[in-house]
Structure 1
Amino acid sequence: MAGLELLSEQGFRIDGRKATELRRIQCRLGVFSQADGSAYIEQGNTKVLAAVYGPHEYSMATFSTGERKHRPRGDRKSKEMTMHLQQTFDAAILTSLHPRSQIDIFVEVLQSDGGNYCASVNAATLALIDAGIPMRDYVCACSASFVSDTPLVDISYLEETSGGAELIVATLPKSEQIVFLEMNARLHEDNLSPVLDLAVKGCKDIHDVLDQAVRDHVAEAAVVSGLE
């Protein structure tokens, strides 16, 4: 798909968003009672469920991902995401507070429309918070691309598959520390900085949404416990 088709002359994308506008995010914590922590998130039409078990006695660290598609579990894409999630959260979870323990994170992509890794990170962050796992900060992930000399944030599946560059970033938003960075295609060095800056800003904006969801969840839990 040609770049001009992804961005109109008026600066709007195919789904009506502006270049710097995130997809609509909806999220909930505590959606799966059998887990120590869980969360559900929708970023646009991408829907992800995450569950956390632990910390419990160490056997072997487990990060698991799955996609609702006709493909066997353990395929290359899922293994890559599992590895990336482990790298990302190894940098954020305060594992020293739980020596000889393991924390299992399970992520299920229920519906995919771009940004699977980003939505998985954001859902897993909420699930870890719901489980009370201590972390240095929220971990927030966002993608960005570059179309018609314009950086685009939080790209959809159509934008992902257009053949342009895709930059994926996970940060600890308060310090802006980058804990994961991946580039899926070439991008001229002159354009890298504005695309990276937009992705990092996207992470901050996502943090605001996730943080509000956590505050709402805590307030709701306090009301429920007060009624009891």
Structure 2
Amino acid sequence: MNFDLQMLIDNWDPLMLGVRTTLWLFLAIMAICTPLALLVALARISRFRTLSRLAGAYVNTIRALPLLVILFFTFYGLPAFGIYVSPFTAAMIGLTIVTTAFLSEDLRAGLLSVPRGQFEAAAALGLSPGRFVGRVLIPQALPILCAPYFTRAIVTVKATSIASMVAVNEITAQSMAAVTTTYHSIEFLGFAAAAYLLLSSVLALLQAFVQRRVNLS
């Protein structure tokens, strides 16, 4: 089959709608899950055993469940409890739940890389937990956290494609809709691949920039 550029031109508006939806979904997920994942990671390394165990139970349970099952639950299951949300919101909730669990483990590993003596010194100085986290723990862990954080962000961009299973008009859904109506798969699957590659590449470049700034600081 020959590549037909006109097919892409004729379907450009819905394809770009898919790109915008993917971008907004990704940004919403990362904006919500980043502080949540940090809180879960801090809970995991907390000296309070009950809090640490509850956080661990959440992380281990979510990591053991397939993403699609969680997504179907937020889309089909929530209405059973009288909670009705749009497909976009259902996908955002499901993906945020999963991304928070995985990202919290990435962050926990970085936080644990800070020498234990820093914890003891902060306790000796009487620093409050908030001041210790904000002024000692995170600044020292930041160079180590950059790579896993952006890696998780790239994984999340690609994971948004599964939102097509719950009627979210993101890149994959719009591309497959075009394939269904035109019977031209190469053009639209190629577009989807290029779009994900572009978004992931931008994040990789951003990671390199942030790491240089962090290492120079």
TM-score bracket, normalised by the shorter chain, equals 0.3 to 0.5
Higher helix proportion: 2
Higher strand proportion: 1
The structure with the larger Rg is 2
Report the TM-score when normalising by structure 2. Answer: 0.35
